[in-house]
Amino acid sequence: MPLSISLLVTSDVHGYIYPTHYRDRTVQNLGLAKVASVVKKKRQEKETLLIDNGDIIQGSPMTYYHAKYKRGAANPVIKAANKLKYDASVFGNHEFNYGLDYLKGAIEQADFPWLSASVLNKETGEPAFGTPYIIKEVGGVRIAILGVTTHFIPNWEEPRNIEELDFRDAVEAAKHWVAYIRDKERPDVMVVSYHGGFERDLVTGEPTERLTGENQGYQMCQELEGIDVLITGHQHRSLAGNVNGVTVIQPGNNGQLLGEVELTLEKNHTGWVLKESNPQLITIDETVEPDKDVTDLIADFEQETQEWLDRPIGEIVGDMKIEDPFQARLQDNPMIEFFNRVQMNAAGVDISNTSLFNNDSAGFRNDVTMRDIVSNYIYPNTLNVIRISGKDMKDALEQSAKYFAVEDGKLTVNPAFIEPKPQHYNYDMWEGIDYELTISNPVGERVTKLMYKGEPVKETEEYDVVMNNYRAGGAGDFDMYRGKPLIKDIPIDMTELIANYILERKTIEASCDGNWHVTL
């Protein structure tokens, strides 16, 4: 008699529990409370396992509020995850954003193990948090879950947040542990849960990005012997399929989808044999009601977060709204100029760059609240001042210019910045220099004007520039920044710097000096 087991998967939940868009409090089809309702129904139908694939404790205004102001309170995301009765969670790259003390607190509060075979203790060389894998017995079937995490984390993360850790190549770590588990544990089903994505097209095998090692999902499907299922994440993609005989799934982000791999097994004289593994993505739509047990559990903290978000900060005189994100990236605008001026003020330098992180940014209303700030500056970035040459500056602008393409005689977004994952945050806009990008020119020759203090920027001159820590490490293919001298480290979240800047001044005048523009 065949046995059916549902492997249920979330990934990149990013702290969303209530089905709420924190920008305007509108109800959305997302969050763990809605996911919980689907999980409950699945558990009534058949045997299940529930795995989170990483990036669960960071990413929403609620997680920011908890990490910055309420660390002594129980972690609301972990409370919700415990209520869902996860069997395990894998470490994602954003788990480290608030430092190891915060992460260790989350681990201690969790009723489930955290997995990663590739995050190592620097002193011992062993898995840092003690548990690279688990064996779960479901209906007599032994299922191994191995966790691995993208080893690209040191390219993004604040060094102070990971100073106790080393990150082993995820493929190499997985090879070692899959072989170990197969030999020592002899599971009936071998699952690898990898907080990383696919670097190649799943059908053709052609690269879809630079092969830096950030994403190695396709390589795992080719090189890991004896795995049945590969859970992926990090890219916020919606994937369910098969690569080289391996069932793969990636369930989007923010709890908008629940991944399910239905495992069908039959028993013979040697034991259980996996006959089929069918992946599907379950959409969390308007027909799914939030689970009241979950919403009630954190209702007080959710309300406290909402009240904090509505706290007045100051006033904007003039227009700092973003009506059209694409147009905002074509020429200097008050919102981006404001972010850059906050950075320059904090760093004490006169050149800065920043990004409009996604297309949800609406800019600031005239009466500014914390909600406006965290809705527009969505990452827990700190600031670095690095010393770069004029050539580095030009190369960085050329890299940003790749964001644009020309289609039918009009400017548009380069598809590489949209698929397979939107990367609007990898286009930077500068203050303190005057420049022009001409997109109809060949790639590498698009910077048609570059001035500093009225004089052309010289390739051999050096300039101190403030930018977020993610970019200063070279992330986003800004290789020209790697290894540059760190002149100043400002270990305060940019959201706090923005709030403090407004609180000190009470009134901010929207201004725009028009120092840059993009042309066809």
- Count how many Cα atoms sit within 13 Å of the Cα of residue 504 in the half-sphere of its side chain: 9
Using alpha carbons, list the distances in angstroms from residue 483 to 71, 157, 391, 426, 491: 34, 15, 15, 19, 19
Q: Binning pLDDT at 50, 70 and 90, where does residue 210 land?
A: confident
Angle between helix axes 76-84 and 32-45 (nearest 10 degrees) is 10
Q: Binning pLDDT at 50, 70 and 90, where does residue 24 land?
A: confident
How confident is the model at residue 23, as a pLDDT? 81
Cβ distance 141 to 264 under 8 Å?
no
> Same structural domain for residues 295 and 334?
no
CA distance 150 to 380: 19
* CATH (domain of 21): 3.60.21.10
Cβ distance 386 to 464 under 8 Å?
yes
pLDDT in tens, 418-444: 988 899 999 999 999 999 999 999 999
Number of structural domains, the chain? 2
Close Cβ partners of 72 (under 8 Å, ≥ 6 residues apart): none
CA distance 24 to 64: 17
Close Cβ partners of 68 (under 8 Å, ≥ 6 residues apart): 493, 496
Cβ distance 59 to 16 under 8 Å?
yes
Q: Nearest-CA neighbor of 81 among 15, 26, 170?
A: 15
Q: Binning pLDDT at 50, 70 and 90, where does residue 281 land?
A: very high
> Same structural domain for residues 89 and 124?
yes
Query: Long-range contacts for 38-44 (Cβ within 8 Å, ≥24 apart)?
Result: 38/258, 38/282, 38/284, 38/288, 39/8, 39/84, 39/258, 40/291, 42/6, 42/8, 42/260
pLDDT greater than 90 at residue 489: no
How confident is the model at residue 514, as a pLDDT? 97
pLDDT (average), residues 453-466: 97
Cβ distance 422 to 486 under 8 Å?
no
How confident is the model at residue 349, as a pLDDT? 98
> Same structural domain for residues 197 and 330?
no
Q: Binning pLDDT at 50, 70 and 90, where does residue 270 land?
A: confident
How confident is the model at residue 492, as a pLDDT? 83
Close Cβ partners of 85 (under 8 Å, ≥ 6 residues apart): 50, 111, 112
pLDDT in tens, 234-257: 999 999 999 999 999 999 999 999
> Same structural domain for residues 129 and 192?
yes
CA distance 21 to 63: 14
Strand ordering across the sheet containing 133-138: 133-138, 141-149, 189-195, 229-231, 246-251, 238-243
> Same structural domain for residues 297 and 393?
no
pLDDT (average), residues 13-33: 93
> Same structural domain for residues 289 and 399?
no
CA distance 207 to 218: 10
pLDDT greater than 90 at residue 130: no
Cβ distance 190 to 272 under 8 Å?
no
Boundary-marking domain end, from 305, 330, 363: 305
Instruction: Look up the pTM and report it.
Output: 0.86
User: What angle (nearest 5°) sits at the alpha carbon of residue 278, between those of residues 277 and 280?
Assistant: 140
* CATH (domain of 470): 3.90.780.10
Residue at token pair 């000096």: 513
Question: What is residue 200's DSSP assignment?
Answer: B
Q: Residue 221 has which token pair?
A: 């499907």
Q: What is the DSSP string of 400-413?
A: HHTTEEEETTEEEE
Strand ordering across the sheet containing 516-519: 455-456, 447-452, 434-438, 516-519
Q: What is the DSSP string of 58-94?
A: SSSHHHHHHHHH-TTSPPHHHHHHHHHT-SEEEPPGG
Q: Binning pLDDT at 50, 70 and 90, where does residue 209 land?
A: confident
> Same structural domain for residues 197 and 112?
yes
pLDDT (average), residues 61-85: 96
pLDDT (average), residues 206-212: 89
Cβ distance 254 to 30 under 8 Å?
yes
pLDDT (average), residues 179-204: 97
Q: Give percent of the chain above pLDDT 70.
A: 100
How confident is the model at residue 77, as a pLDDT? 98
Boundary-marking domain end, from 239, 274, 305: 305
pLDDT (average), residues 203-211: 92
pLDDT (average), residues 477-482: 96
Find the DSSP H helices in 364-492.
370-376, 390-401, 469-472
How confident is the model at residue 204, as a pLDDT? 96
Domain that holds residue 178: 3-305
> Same structural domain for residues 338 and 250?
no
How confident is the model at residue 107, as a pLDDT? 97
Boundary-marking domain end, from 271, 305, 339: 305
Query: Which helix (H) or strand (E) segment is 343 a member of?
Result: helix 334-347
pLDDT (average), residues 354-373: 94
Maximum separation of any 2 CA atoms in the chain, in Å: 82
Look up residue 430 and give its amino acid: W
pLDDT greater than 90 at residue 125: yes
Q: Binning pLDDT at 50, 70 and 90, where does residue 21 land?
A: confident
Using alpha carbons, list the distances in angstroms from residue 454 to 388, 435, 449, 457, 511: 19, 11, 11, 9, 20
Q: Residue 186 CB: number of other CB atoms within 10 A?
A: 11
Q: What is the pLDDT of the chain when averaged over all its residues?
A: 96
Q: Nearest-CA neighbor of 187 among 140, 120, 247?
A: 140
> Same structural domain for residues 272 and 393?
no
> Same structural domain for residues 269 and 175?
yes
Per 3-state DSSP, the chain is made up of helix, strand and coil in percentages (nearest 5) of 30, 30, 40
How confident is the model at residue 421, as a pLDDT? 86
Q: Residue 6 has which token pair?
A: 């549902």
> Same structural domain for residues 332 and 260?
no
pLDDT greater than 90 at residue 155: no
Higher pLDDT, 380 or 484: 484
pLDDT (average), residues 69-93: 97
Q: Binning pLDDT at 50, 70 and 90, where does residue 378 land?
A: confident
pLDDT greater than 90 at residue 379: no
How confident is the model at residue 481, as a pLDDT? 97
pLDDT (average), residues 438-452: 98
Close Cβ partners of 336 (under 8 Å, ≥ 6 residues apart): 328, 354, 356, 429, 431
pLDDT in tens, 295-340: 999 999 999 999 999 999 999 999 999 999 999 999 999 999 999 9
Question: What is residue 122's DSSP assignment?
Answer: T
Cis amide linkage into residue 187, ω under 30° from 0: no
How confident is the model at residue 1, as a pLDDT? 79
> Same structural domain for residues 181 and 269?
yes
pLDDT (average), residues 451-470: 97
